[in-house]
Amino acid sequence: MKSTRLHSLLLPLMVAGAFTSSHEASAAVYVQCPGDTNGDAIPDGTTDPNVKCMHLSGGDGFTVMADGKQLYTFGFSNLTGTPRGTDTVDARLDKGVLAAQQPAPTIDLKQGQKVYLTLTNVGMVMRPDLFDPHSVHFHGFPNAAAIFDGLPEASITVNMGASLTYFYNIQEPGTYIYHCHVEATEHMEMGMLGQLFVRPAQDGQSKTFNGRTYTQFVYNDVDGGTGYHKGVALQLGSFDHVFHELHLGVQPLPFAKISTTYSLFNGRGYPDTVNPGSIPAGSENPRAAVNGGSVETNQPVTSLVTLNRTTEGTTLLLRLSNLSVDNLFSVTALGLPMRVVGQGARILRTAGEATGKDLSYDTSSVTLGGGETNDVLIDTTGVPAGTYFLYTTNLNYLSNGAEDFGGMMTEIVIN
Ligand SMILES: [Cu+2]
């Protein structure tokens, strides 16, 4: 996609970038990744196997609700693997514009890694009056210094056309989240929300718990009690379509009136939640509307959960996170046993963690406020094969806007 129109939209960003990067005077994007030679955030040649790089864009886009309504959104997209290229416009800028994703690209890490995460602010094309920076806030991460925290008052944020590389020394396993922390209520309501988890060093060992043998664990647990066979991350969230419409209309934003009009799993409402593929980008996204536009989707991540017990094993891990700015949500998996083994990126044990008293509990539902995560294990041994529903028990939110029978509901298909 090389439309003249989009290039003209990008030009102001290129100019802005010239003032923010002393490394490449003509380019707006600057990726720091040890061993990377072409700017695609993938180390070339031999390098420390514990080094992991990622490159995200921060910008805008459109998200399609299950009733067909298209909401203007902010968000992140994944530029990892895209080199600078030789065109006058940096291929990474080109790819990141209007590509905001719901949910943001999942950040999947392992204990012991050194992570270089570059964020490039590609600007909000639909709001040329805005000059908002963005940031990545790794929610729950114990930063050694505030500079990479993402909170604008205490750390660096990333202006339009500029890039910043965050560094994290990954030591603590668990289920986290990440989000932009600039004008947090606005940028989070607009959709700058992602899933992030850290796999424990114990992964790869073989442990038997309750007669089941595991090689993957949520935490370093000594006894295998957080073992699972298949893990799925599900982001609970909500949008207020009025807020998004006023945003696109360059109107004052009704912060005090934010309420849930669309409740979502992984940025989708039922029945889009059970679509195993991507939701095609909406027609209101100029990038998708341009013939040959390269933005095929703003919603690539399904929320359909499947478990084939013959090939995948019996125990399912749901990494649940709530990133709604206005609501608590309770969810249940009707007919399936839920055991909560972690909360807020911490194993449910008393002090000593691995050796402490086991505080995991069996339940039929979990309730998460904004910013909270739960690690829920579902042992399907003895459970009849079939389709089960995972949904919010806040039944008034089982809707897509004014359309009934939708919202935060998906299926767990067990074979
Ligand atoms: Cu932001």
CA of 297 to the centre of ligand 1 (A): 20
CATH topology of domain 4-414: Immunoglobulin-like (2.60.40)
User: What's the pLDDT score for residue 350?
Assistant: 86
CA of 266 to the centre of ligand 1 (A): 19
CA of 135 to the centre of ligand 1 (A): 6
Q: What pLDDT, in 10s, does the model give residues 375-410? A: 999 999 999 999 999 999 999 999 999 999 999 999
For residue 104 the two structure tokens come to 């943001």
CA of 387 to the centre of ligand 1 (A): 38
User: What's the pLDDT score for residue 100?
Assistant: 97
Model confidence at 144, pLDDT cuts 50, 70, 90, reads: confident
User: What's the pLDDT score for residue 4?
Assistant: 40
**Side chain identity, residue 212:** R
CA of 120 to the centre of ligand 1 (A): 11
- Which residues, by Cβ under 5 Å, contact ligand 1, an ion? 134, 180, 182, 187, 192
**Is residue 102 a contact partner of residue 267, using CB atoms and an 8 Å limit?**
yes
CA of 134 to the centre of ligand 1 (A): 4
CA of 141 to the centre of ligand 1 (A): 19
CA of 99 to the centre of ligand 1 (A): 14
CA of 300 to the centre of ligand 1 (A): 20
CA of 22 to the centre of ligand 1 (A): 23
In whole numbers, what is the pLDDT of the chain averaged over residues? 91
Q: What pLDDT, in 10s, does the model give residues 305-342? A: 999 999 999 999 999 999 999 999 999 999 999 999 99
CA of 166 to the centre of ligand 1 (A): 15
CA of 144 to the centre of ligand 1 (A): 23
For residue 229 the two structure tokens come to 């066979």
Query: What is the C-alpha separation between 63 and 68, in angstroms, rounded?
Result: 10
CA of 49 to the centre of ligand 1 (A): 31
Beta strand pairing call for 409-414 and 305-307 = parallel
User: What's the pLDDT score for residue 293?
Assistant: 64
What are the sequence ranges of the domains in the chain?
A: 4-414
Model confidence at 10, pLDDT cuts 50, 70, 90, reads: very low
**Is residue 83 a contact partner of residue 91, using CB atoms and an 8 Å limit?**
yes
CA of 155 to the centre of ligand 1 (A): 14
CA of 151 to the centre of ligand 1 (A): 11
Beta strand pairing call for 315-322 and 230-239 = parallel
CA of 44 to the centre of ligand 1 (A): 31
CA of 183 to the centre of ligand 1 (A): 7
Contact partners, residue 203, CB within 8 Å, separation at least 6: 110, 215, 216, 217
CA of 182 to the centre of ligand 1 (A): 5
CA of 32 to the centre of ligand 1 (A): 21
Query: What is the C-alpha separation between 73 and 65, in angstroms, rounded?
Result: 12
Residue 22 reports pLDDT greater than 90:
no
216 to 115, 311, 338, 376: CA distances (angstroms): 21, 15, 18, 14
Query: What global pTM score does this model have?
Result: 0.91
**Is residue 35 a contact partner of residue 45, using CB atoms and an 8 Å limit?**
yes
CA of 103 to the centre of ligand 1 (A): 14
